[in-house]
């Protein structure tokens, strides 16, 4: 496989990659398009689909692919609470460290993939060569501070929960945080 073929595979067939990693219910018709849009899209988008439709799985794959294909971009991943983001960060970590992805990184970049930052809320790899100190992937709950932070891409997932449904104050707070995301995009 050539570098160009590996890049094309990741950009055009991410659902196939996902299935090879054990996410066997991802489909080419639906999920592949979602992931491609998440990785290569330029506009703000909202994806609404039923519970159990593998939206979060698609986000996890997309986050890993952005880190590989565009390593100097910084990405913020936001969920309702800090504990909520940890499972997604762990899933991204597992995707990056999978033998399949490591081989693809070797073909594309000619280096063995290493995690230079790896904790419950951040991941960065040796592929990133940009001058900024921000990790490639930063995850946090909506209650965390966004002041002074800037990211190239912002992903939200399940930022509304039961408290938003029962409390107008919580709904208003979540809306304000969501609107603030426009100010942190590079």
Q: Tell me: the pLDDT tens digits for 131-141? A: 878 899 999 98
Instruction: Please tell me the predicted confidence (pLDDT) of residue 124.
Output: 97
56/102: higher pLDDT: 102
Instruction: Please tell me the predicted confidence (pLDDT) of residue 130.
Output: 80
In whole angstroms, what separates CA 31 from the centre of its chain? Answer: 15
Say yes or no to pLDDT of 66 above 90: yes
| Low-confidence winner among 32-41, 55-64, 128-137 (lowest mean pLDDT) | 128-137
CA distance 26 to 24: 6
CA distance 70 to 137: 12
Tell me the H-state helices in 70-145.
Answer: 82-97, 99-109
Closest alpha carbon to 69 in 39, 34, 99 = 39
Region 47-66 average pLDDT: 84
Say yes or no to pLDDT of 85 above 80: yes
Non-local (6+) Cβ contacts of 48 within 8 A are none
Structure tokens at 185: 């995009």
Is residue 74 within 8 Å of 132, Cβ to Cβ? yes
When pLDDT is cut at 50, 70 and 90, the band that residue 179 belongs to is: confident
How many contiguous H segments (helices) and E segments (strands) does the chain have?
Answer: 8, 5
Region 79-85 average pLDDT: 85
User: What pTM was computed for the model?
Assistant: 0.90
Structure tokens at 152: 């190239």
Region 171-177 average pLDDT: 78
Non-local (6+) Cβ contacts of 2 within 8 A are 107
* Whole-number average pLDDT of the chain: 89
Share of the chain above pLDDT 70, in %: 95
Structure tokens at 125: 């790899």
């Amino acid at each position: 496989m050539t570098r160009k073929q590996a890049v094309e595979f990741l950009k055009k067939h991410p659902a196939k990659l996902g299935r090879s990693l054990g996410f066997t219910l991802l489909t080419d018709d639906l999920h592949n398009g979602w992931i491609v849009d998440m990785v290569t899209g330029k506009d703000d988008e909202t994806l609404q689909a039923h519970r159990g439709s593998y939206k979060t799985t698609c986000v996890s794959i997309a986050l890993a692919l952005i880190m590989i294909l565009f390593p100097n971009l910084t990405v913020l991943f936001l969920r309702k609470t800090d504990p909520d983001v940890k499972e997604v960060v762990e899933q991204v970590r597992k995707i990056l460290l999978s033998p399949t992805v490591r081989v693809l990184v070797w073909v594309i970049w000619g280096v063995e993939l290493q995690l230079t930052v790896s904790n419950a809320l951040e991941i960065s790899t040796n592929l990133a060569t940009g001058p900024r100190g921000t990790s490639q992937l930063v995850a946090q709950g909506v209650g965390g501070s966004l002041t002074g932070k800037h990211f190239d891409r912002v992903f939200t997932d399940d930022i509304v929960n039961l408290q938003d449904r029962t409390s107008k104050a919580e709904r208003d707070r979540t809306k304000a945080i969501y609107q603030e995301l426009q100010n942190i995009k590079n």
